[in-house]
Amino acid sequence: MKKQYTTTLEPLADSKIAIKGEIAWEAVAEYEKKAFDHMASHLDIDGFRKGHIPEQVAKSKIPDALVLNEMAEMAMQTLYGDIIKEHEVDIIGRPELAITKLARNDSVGFTITATVLPTIDLPDYKKIAKEIKEEPVEAVSDEEVTKVVEELRQLRAYGHVHGHDEDHGHTEALPEVTDEFAQSFGEFESVAQMREKITENITREKTHEAKDKRRIAIMESIVEKTDFVIPAIVIQSEQEKMLAQVEADITRAGFTLDDYLKQSNKTKEGIMAEFKPEAEKRARIQLVLNAISRKENIVPSEEEVQKESERLMAMYPGADKMRTVAYVDMMLTNEKTLALLEGK
């Protein structure tokens, strides 16, 4: 089958590209009836029912230039995937399409401008990761366990926990630490069993913190040795995620973002600017993780993605399914990639 288009790719600044090309008239002409029918169905003319306007009447009302433009856009929608696949580019965000040449019985010129994932020349990330050791987890002390027990006493007496040096104004006596007190939390038969479980929980938290600390150190070290330019759109996306999280936290507290902005004498633009350094750091780490996962061909199974997506959708019934699946796919890929770097 004869190729229906010709293209050339031109690299631009800030990780952008321009794909310029032409589509053969024959490939565009195939969409004339579909384009005309689509436009005619939206015409609103007195004396005719919408969608039932005679063809000759519709032709007299629709300029040929509009039909040609609709034909060109339909052809582009069909061929877009093949064009991008041919050039092997990973596009970020929404590309811009411009029709640059349009005339009946002539090839249609177009330009696709898009931001793409930057080329990342990875260092020896496995060697870097191996050199960063996980710090040993300190044993849980009696003082740490007792602190939690004291917080449980406050929780039982006051319904909430105060800092030990905080003047909270409560006069109620704290309950004695007895087996009955331990049993009141429903999980334990004795104080000893309660303290044992608290020790397990603190140990688990410390282990998790040590694991996270090593993961952060590994990624920061790899990123430090990886030089590339982050597309502005990626940093902006991270800033928007951070702002959305702040807004969600404020909403849970019973306020609105506007309330917060007024009380803190800040603007949304100002907050976004404050977020930029951290957003750039997060974006750089995520792009490097993506590059490693692609190089190692790390992909979660459909079953894993489906199972975790269903779990999250059950927890948050109003969540968008497509976004949830995309989020889960990214998180599972990140987890598998980090596990690889840990040597697991």
Is position 197 within any domain? yes
29 and 50 part of one domain:
yes
Sign, CA dihedral 307-312-318-322, equals: negative
Residue 134 structure tokens: 């996980």
Domain boundary among the residues 168, 197, 226 is at 226
Mean pLDDT of 44-64: 76
Is position 198 within any domain? yes
Is position 343 within any domain? no
**With bands split at pLDDT 50, 70 and 90, how would you rate the model's confidence at 44?**
confident
Tally of CB atoms within 10 A around 78: 14
98 and 140 part of one domain:
no
* pTM for the predicted model, two decimal places: 0.74
Backbone phi and psi for residue 280, each to the nearest 5 degrees, phi listed first: -65, -40
Residue 164 pLDDT: 61
Domain boundary among the residues 93, 116, 139 is at 116
Residue 159 pLDDT: 82
Q: Is 173 a residue whose pLDDT tops 60?
A: yes
124 and 220 part of one domain:
yes
**With bands split at pLDDT 50, 70 and 90, how would you rate the model's confidence at 291?**
very high
Is position 314 within any domain? no
**With bands split at pLDDT 50, 70 and 90, how would you rate the model's confidence at 271?**
very high
Span 16-37, pLDDT tens digits:
999 999 999 999 999 999 998 8
Domain boundary among the residues 81, 116, 151 is at 116
Span 103-121, pLDDT tens digits:
999 999 999 999 998 889 9
Residue 229 pLDDT: 87
111 and 46 part of one domain:
yes
Residue 145 pLDDT: 96
**With bands split at pLDDT 50, 70 and 90, how would you rate the model's confidence at 222?**
very high
9 and 105 part of one domain:
yes
Backbone phi and psi for residue 116, each to the nearest 5 degrees, phi listed first: -125, 160
Span 312-321, pLDDT tens digits:
999 988 888 9
Residue 196 pLDDT: 95
CATH (domain of 21): 3.30.70.1050
Q: What is the 3-state secondary structure (H, E, C) of the chain?
A: CCCCEEEEEEEECCCEEEEEEEECHHHHHCCHHHHHHHHHCCCCCCCCCCCCCCHHHHHHHCCHHHHHHHHHHHHHHHHHHHHHHHHCCCEEEEEEEEEEECCCCCCEEEEEEEEECCCCCCCCHHHHHHHCCCCCCCCCCHHHHHHHHHHHHHHHHHCCCCCCCCCCCCCCCCCCCCHHHHHCCCCCCCHHHHHHHHHHHHHHHHHHHHHHHHHHHHHHHHHHCCCCCCCHHHHHHHHHHHHHHHHHHHHHCCCCHHHHHHHHCCCHHHHHHHHHHHHHHHHHHHHHHHHHHHHCCCCCCHHHHHHHHHHHHHHCCCCCHHHHHHHHHHHHHHHHHHHHHHCC
User: Domain range for residue 169?
Assistant: 120-226
Backbone phi and psi for residue 105, each to the nearest 5 degrees, phi listed first: 65, 25
52 and 87 part of one domain:
yes
Is position 278 within any domain? no
Is position 180 within any domain? yes
Q: Is 1 a residue whose pLDDT tops 70?
A: no
95 and 174 part of one domain:
no
Is position 285 within any domain? no
112 and 20 part of one domain:
yes
Mean pLDDT of 259-278: 92
Residue 36 pLDDT: 86
187 and 97 part of one domain:
no
**Domains in the chain, number:** 2
61 and 81 part of one domain:
yes
Name the region of 132 (left: φ>0; alpha: ψ -120 to 50; beta: rest). beta
**With bands split at pLDDT 50, 70 and 90, how would you rate the model's confidence at 38?**
confident
Is position 321 within any domain? no
84 and 159 part of one domain:
no
30 and 83 part of one domain:
yes
Contact 263, 253 (CB under 8 A): no
